Structure 1
Amino acid sequence: MTQDGAIPATRAVTPLGWLLIGFRLVLMVLVFMLCAPLHLLWRAFGFGRFWPRVFLASIGAIAGLHITVRGQPARHALLLSNHVSWLDIPTLAHVTGSAFVAHDGLADFVFLKWLCEMNDTIFIARHDRQSVAEQVEQVRAAMATGGALTIFPEGTTSDGTGLLPFKSALLSAATPLPPGIVAQPVSLDYENSRQVCWVGDEPGLDNFLRLLARPRPIRVTAHFLAPLAGEELADRKAMAATAHAKLLRHLSQ
């Protein structure tokens, strides 16, 4: 990061950084070539998301991600997490095996869409009111199958030092929760989050390459807070307000 707080541009990557980028990209391609066919074979026999979880965890490890877990992740949960970086995805996939809810802009990139669909990502068309009912059914079906499903209620990324307002509309499909599913806030705390975050006008590819160029590990602590209970689950607005307050209180400590 520069002295004025701006995110450094990709062109500032050192020669060593470019070597790290090349090395890590080769490893990522090799992991993909291993996991993709095994995933297709796995799915042909009706099994779950084992190989996408392996793939995402490997991507995080190759990128230098070091994960510490605090608290107890619920086994069957709707995870409500703050959103700092694309590394949030491999972090939560590694720890919980979670699927994700993402905005439909990602679906414009064919390869990225295919990678997301490997892990049962649900795409939300935020500006298409006519498809809301269908999206609600997709989210509820994903929760009903068990496991974990992650929503980033901020709707975008922040710099990790605070918390943007939660968009309660993103939780409309989760009210009421299916039987056996809990809503659990998750705080992702990055060491030097301002150097990791993806905010402002930085292109996504630049951010991706910039993080791959880092020689130092990227340390993140995933804090799993107590699940919401009682009146905290009354409706989507109560869920959003309570989860936001709990995460904000944790981040301010």
Structure 2
Amino acid sequence: MVSWRAGLRLVAMAIWLVGCVTAYYLVAILPGRNPVPPVFLAGIAFIAGVEIEVRGTPPRRAMLLANHVSWMDIPVLAATARSAFVAHDGLQGHPILKRLCEMNRTVFIARSRRHTVADQVAQLREALEVNHVLTLFPEGTTGTGDCLLPVKSSLLSAIDPPPEDHDGPVPIVPVLLAYEDAPDVAWGDQPGPENFIAILSRREPVRVTVHFLPPLAGEELAGRKAMAAAITAHLSDGLNAAGLSKTPALA
């Protein structure tokens, strides 16, 4: 049963969606990235009761590699970094979700077909030219928020070597999402719709600190396995500093 609080938030989200879709098509004729999708996602975070604190400086041009805890990661990173996202192609099977992803210029990748890596590199470069900031979740799935799941180096194939644009190699930036009540708000084994309603039913806000860490440099960029090891180390250190446990590994 949906609580009254979740019901009100769902209504507010529906109204916000209609308004933002209308605005999206009104400004769609303008060149460059449509500014509405990140604003829409930021509004979803606000309506859901997410309170965001930022540590470090959100980059204006970067490939972000973040730990993955919840569906809230998407609106949180859109709100703080105006990021678009890299997602697995399985989402293309959901028409409404697919269209919303496309409006935010999501890059869909086929994780199980290695021969598509060259195409994925081209897609990332094209997306970065328009979006300037893209986020990839290298764990490949959501965790409980109080530890880091194995970083899958195979998911980094499309950024090995880092893609370039007219300004040179795009910075690879680790991002730590530290939720105050991580195990309570994380997806974990909970079905997606159930978790979504549980978040909207909360009386207390969902507090998350977004740590934008220094870009990878030097030997940390020497191949996807080196990048995976560096991301594991930086995010694990961040989890420890935030008072959360770490159980990182490479895959």
Same fold (TM over 0.5): yes
TM-score (norm 1): 0.89
Where does residue 226 of structure 2 map in the other structure?
238
Q: Tell me whether 1:204 sits opposite 2:189 in the alignment.
A: no
Deviation at 1:144, TM superposition (A): 3.6
Structure 2 matches for 1:1-253, cutoff 5 A? 18-145=3-130, 147-177=132-162, 178=164, 179-200=168-189, 202-253=190-241
Q: Deviations over 1:100-152 (max 9, x none)?
A: 01112222111011111111111122223443332232112222445210000
Deviates more, 1:130-139 or 1:120-129: 130-139
Q: Deviations over 1:26-61 (max 9, x none)?
A: 111111111112112222222413100110000000
Deviates more, 1:216-225 or 1:234-243: 234-243
TM-score (norm 2): 0.90
Poorly superposed stretches of 4+, deviation over 3 Å? 128-132
Fraction of identical pairs, as percent: 51
The 1:25/1:142 distance shift into structure 2, 3 A limit, reads: same
Whether the 8 Å contact between 2:145 and 2:186 is mirrored in structure 1 is: yes
Whether the 8 Å contact between 1:146 and 1:181 is mirrored in structure 2 is: no
Q: Deviations over 1:199-229 (max 9, x none)?
A: 12x2111111111111110000001111111
Match of 2:210, SS state, is: strand
Aligned residues: 237
Computed over aligned residues only, the root mean square deviation of the Cα atoms, in angstroms, reads 1.4
2: CA distance, partners of 1:248 / 1:54:
30
1: CA distance, partners of 2:229 / 2:34:
31
